[in-house]
């Protein structure tokens, strides 16, 4: 028998992929999303198989019946979106988390949190293990997201200690794939769209900063494995692909796979932009028997194919 599952942020990039996997294994899905950064297009293909509720999780939750599990993915994830209304971003992470934890507590439902590598800030330890407490600026332009997610982790662990709520916390490192929003300013979607449109790739700073990119299918597999662990496994567990690249290397790969060798243009580096980021994934390997399978070249080719199709449809319509 399938479970009854609440997915918040289900109309977003990651949430929509998670919903596909839950439906494929026979679960019943209710999706809450305020459509701030997500889109109904991401869940169009499953609209008649799920219950969609347009709602902001900072507000008291509507009565939606009993859930076995809650996946909380609601939060804008790209810097331009989470910085657009930082107070709302903070409320989403903290007030939204409180509302969902209360639901989990009263319903005795398991709750999963999509936390982030941003809890490590601009890390002074490299690569980053879960035991590292981070190097976060508490008053900078990224703090609404970083400190919001850190506050959410605090609430989760206090609810577990005070009320015995079963919590599952993963820290996601940069993830990419089909259904990323072309407008949200993340580096992979920016570079792919720019390269396909024969526009210069916008490298911020000197492009020597690094990130480790995980393909979406691998990440969602990790989500499902984490939710299915025994109750005492709480995390936090890093999920990401440890292969690390500079933005210059990424630009080169994107140009290689689009076949359009467009030039680079150098813009200023955003404030507090982390210089390097790479997950230690030994916990995920050991506890979840999980490791990423799709490497960057393959993942980029799949993502480029998606954006090519999207851009073609858009130009047909205009
Ligand atoms: P996304 O912006 O595509 O999805 C977030 C979804 O949450 C959107 O559909 C948005 O409309 C919804 N949302 C935002 N605020 C809400 C609110 N107050 N109430 C209800 N819905 C709300 O981003 P994503 O990449 O799919 O990220 C999903 C989750 O994973 C986020 O919590 C993000 O912090 C986390 N995460 C993602 C990455 C990544 O690389 N993609 C990395 C680290 C963490
Ligand atoms: N970046 C870039 N060009 C872009 C967008 C981003 O060089 O068009 C850089 C950005 O400064 C950062 C890295 O790419 O160093 C990853 O940025 P993204 O916004 O994708 O994720 P995050 O900074 O949250 O890891």
Question: What is the reported pLDDT for 51?
Answer: 98
Q: Is there an atom of ligand 1 within 6 Å of 34 CB?
A: yes
- 315 Cα to the center of ligand 2, angstroms: 27
Nearest Cα to 158, choosing from 117, 224, 111?
111
214 lines ligand 2 (CB under 6 A): no
Q: What is the CATH number of domain 187-211+243-277+294-317?
A: 3.90.25.10
> How sure is the predictor about 298, in pLDDT bands with cuts at 50, 70 and 90?
very high
Regarding the beta carbon of 89 and ligand 1, being less than 6 Å apart is answered no
Would the CB of 186 count as within 6 Å of ligand 2?
Answer: yes
Residue 239 near ligand 1, beta carbon < 6 Å? no
Amino acid 286: pLDDT? 98
From the alpha carbon of 117, which atom of ligand 2 is closest? 25
- Supply the mean pLDDT for the chain: 96
What is the percent of the chain where pLDDT is above 70?
A: 99
Q: Whose CA is nearest to atom 25 of ligand 2?
A: 174
- Residue 318 has a pLDDT of 65
d(CA 300, CA 136): 30
Region 245-253 average pLDDT? 98
Please confirm, yes or no, whether 145 is among the known catalytic residues.
yes
Catalytic pick among 82, 120, 145, 215: 145
Fold: same for 4-176+214-239 and 187-211+243-277+294-317:
no
DSSP 3-state assignment of 69?
Answer: strand
Q: What is the mean pLDDT of residues 116-124?
A: 95
The whole-number pLDDT of residue 272 equals: 86
**Per-residue pLDDT tens for 41-58?**
999 999 999 999 999 999
Q: Among all chains, which residue has been given the structure tokens 């994830």?
A: 77
Angle at 276 between CA 36 and CA 8, to 5 degrees: 25
- HSE-CB at 298 with a 13 A cutoff on CA atoms is 9
Whether 166 shows a pLDDT value over 70: the answer reads yes
Of all protein residues, whose CA lies closest to atom 14 belonging to ligand 1? 75
Q: Give distance in angstroms: CA of 251 to centre of ligand 2.
A: 11
Does ligand 2 have an atom closer than 6 angstroms to the CB of 202?
Answer: yes
pLDDT at 291 over 70: yes
Quick one: average pLDDT of 76-105? 97
pTM over 0.95: yes
Classify 259 as helix, strand or coil. coil
Please check the confidence at residue 313 and state whether its pLDDT lies above 80.
no
Label residue 314 by pLDDT band (50, 70, 90). confident
- Please check the confidence at residue 68 and state whether its pLDDT lies above 90: yes
Tokens for 14, please give them: 């990651």
Task: List, as one string, the DSSP characters of 174-211.
Answer: -EE-TT--TTS--HHHHHHHHHHTT--EEEETTS--EE
**What CATH number should be reported for the domain whose range is 4-176+214-239?**
3.40.50.720
Tokens for 261, please give them: 């060798």
Contact 271, 141 (CB under 8 A): yes
Contact 79, 116 (CB under 8 A): no
Q: Identify which of 50, 155, 144 has the alpha carbon closest to the alpha carbon of residue 113.
A: 155
Q: How does pLDDT run across 197-248, given as a tens digit for each residue?
A: 999 999 999 999 999 999 999 999 999 999 999 999 999 999 999 999 999 9
For ligand 2, say whether the CB of 79 is within 6 Å of any of its atoms. Answer: yes
Ligand nearest to the CA of 223: 1
pLDDT over 90 for what percent of the chain?
95
What count of other Cβ atoms lies within 10 Å of the Cβ of residue 21?
14
**Nearest bound ligand to the CA of residue 238:** 1
Domain range annotation of the chain: 4-176+214-239, 187-211+243-277+294-317
Neighbours of 240 (CB within 10 A): 29
Rg value, the chain, Cα: 19
CA of 298 to the centre of ligand 1 (A): 24
Distance in Å, CA 211 to ligand 2 centroid: 8
């Amino acid at each position: 028998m399938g479970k009854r599952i609440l997915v918040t942020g289900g109309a977003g990039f990651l949430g929509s992929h998670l919903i596909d996997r839950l439906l494929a294994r026979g679960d019943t899905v209710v999706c809450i999303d305020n459509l701030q950064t997500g889109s109904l297009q991401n869940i169009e293909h499953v609209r008649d198989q799920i219950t969609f509720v347009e709602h902001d999780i900072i507000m008291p939750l509507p009565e939606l019946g009993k859930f076995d599990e809650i996946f909380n993915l609601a939060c804008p994830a790209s810097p331009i979106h989470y910085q657009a209304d930082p107070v709302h971003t903070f409320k989403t992470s903290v007030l939204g988390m409180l509302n969902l934890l209360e639901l989990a507590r009263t319903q005795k439902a398991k709750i999963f949190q999509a936390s982030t590598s941003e809890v490590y800030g601009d890390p002074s330890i490299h690569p980053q293990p879960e035991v590292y407490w981070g190097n976060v600026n508490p008053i900078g332009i990224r703090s609404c997201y970083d400190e919001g997610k850190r506050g959410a982790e605090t609430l989760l662990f206090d609810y577990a200690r005070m009320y015995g709520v079963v919590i599952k916390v993963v820290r996601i490192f940069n993830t990419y794939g089909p259904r990323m929003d072309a407008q949200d300013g993340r580096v992979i979607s920016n570079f792919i769209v720019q390269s396909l449109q024969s526009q210069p790739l916008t490298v911020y700073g000197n492009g020597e900063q690094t990130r480790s990119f995980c393909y979406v299918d691998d990440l969602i597999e990790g989500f499902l494995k984490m939710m299915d662990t025994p109750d005492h496994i709480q995390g936090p567990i890093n999920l990401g692909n440890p292969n690390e690249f500079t933005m210059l290397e990424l630009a080169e790969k994107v140009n290689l796979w689009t076949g359009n060798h467009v030039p680079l243009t150098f813009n200023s580096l955003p404030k507090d932009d982390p210089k390097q980021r790479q997950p230690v994934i030994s916990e995920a390997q050991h506890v979840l028997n999980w490791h990423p399978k799709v490497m960057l070249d393959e993942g980029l080719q799949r993502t480029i194919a998606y954006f090519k199709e999207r851009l073609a449809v858009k130009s047909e319509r205009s």
